[in-house]
Amino acid sequence: MKTGRSRSAKPRPMATSGEALIRRKRRRRRMARLAVCAVAAGSLGWGAYQLPQALAHADRFRLRALEVQGLRILEGEDILAASGLRTGDNLFALDLPQVRNNIEQLPWVQQVRLHRKPPDRLSIRITERQRQAWVELDELYGVDSEGVVLPGNRMAKESLQDLDLPVISGLDFTWDALDPGTVLADSSLASLLHWWQQARSADSDFALTISEIQPLGTDGVRLRLVGDGLEIRMRRDQVRARIRTLRALIQRVYRECPSPVYIDLRFAGQAVVGTKVRGS
């Protein structure tokens, strides 16, 4: 029968006093390095905290000018007045979200982007709203693509082309206040604005002949053309195709139908033309 043999542990060599001293010195150096790193990290955190505080009180970073981009209708003075900023404000103490909110209260401002430009400038990029149509309510207002009310009067920098837009009328909703900047949250208006944008994109020349846009039922649109006020009735879908059909038809209508009053294209495969009754 085999018997197991026990293995005796190898005896460890005894460290000399010199080796022990070397190990102790190494441990002390490691502890010293760790202590230095800890102090350095603490100093860095304190410096990161102190830097904004120092910048916010530095006389060098005083606001001297605004760099405003994107203006077409508004003036730089309008932006400065709305911003609440003053010459000499510390650039790094500015509450940029509040400045942005102040400027966006202007009815013509859609979006604002701000960027500090040390040592003494603030860059402001403005996206202005633009009239897409007029809307007839208690009086005539401008309206942008989002249904935001714009002033009814002509702005100094607006051209006649900016104002040559159709009037959206026949809306049936109530409102509490219609100060410029108010959003007209009405589904009919939103649908008509969307239709109008598609019509301009599909045929800009034809769009120039439209003087008035009205809702017609839940899915139709009634147009009146410049000049003789010819009424066009069509569905709101397939805008490009329906305008193409109308363009091909309208000259024939003028040739063959005396004094047309309306053209109704809401019925599949046919056009109904109404004319003035003789003697009326």
The fourth-level CATH superfamily of domain 133-275 is Cell division protein FtsQ/DivIB (3.40.50.11690)
Nearest to 196 by CA among 207, 181, 211: 207
* Band (24; pLDDT cuts 50, 70, 90): low
* Band (36; pLDDT cuts 50, 70, 90): very low
pLDDT digits (tens, 9 = 90+) for 82-115: 999 999 999 999 999 999 999 999 999 999 999 9
Distance CA 214, CA 212 (A): 7
Q: Give Cα 146 distance to the centre of its chain.
A: 10
Q: Is the pLDDT of residue 1 over 50?
A: no
109-118, 151-160, 191-200: least confident range: 151-160
* Band (59; pLDDT cuts 50, 70, 90): confident
Q: Are 134 and 193 in contact (CB under 8 A)?
A: no
Q: Is the pLDDT of residue 277 over 50?
A: yes
What is 11-52 written as a DSSP string? Answer: PPPPPPHHHHHHHHHHHHHHHHHHHHHHHHHHHHHHHHHHHH
The helix/strand/coil state of 201 is helix
Q: Is the pLDDT of residue 234 over 70?
A: yes
pLDDT, mean of residues 225-233:
94
pLDDT, mean of residues 233-248:
94
Domain with CATH 3.40.50.11690 in the chain: 133-275
Q: Is the pLDDT of residue 66 over 90?
A: yes
pLDDT, mean of residues 70-90:
95
- The dihedrals phi and psi of 15, each to the nearest 5 degrees, come to -70, 140
Distance CA 215, CA 172 (A): 10
Q: Is the pLDDT of residue 64 over 90?
A: yes
pLDDT, mean of residues 25-38:
55
pLDDT, mean of residues 122-151:
94
The fourth-level CATH superfamily of domain 65-128 is membrane protein fhac (3.10.20.310)
Q: What is the mean pLDDT of the chain?
A: 84
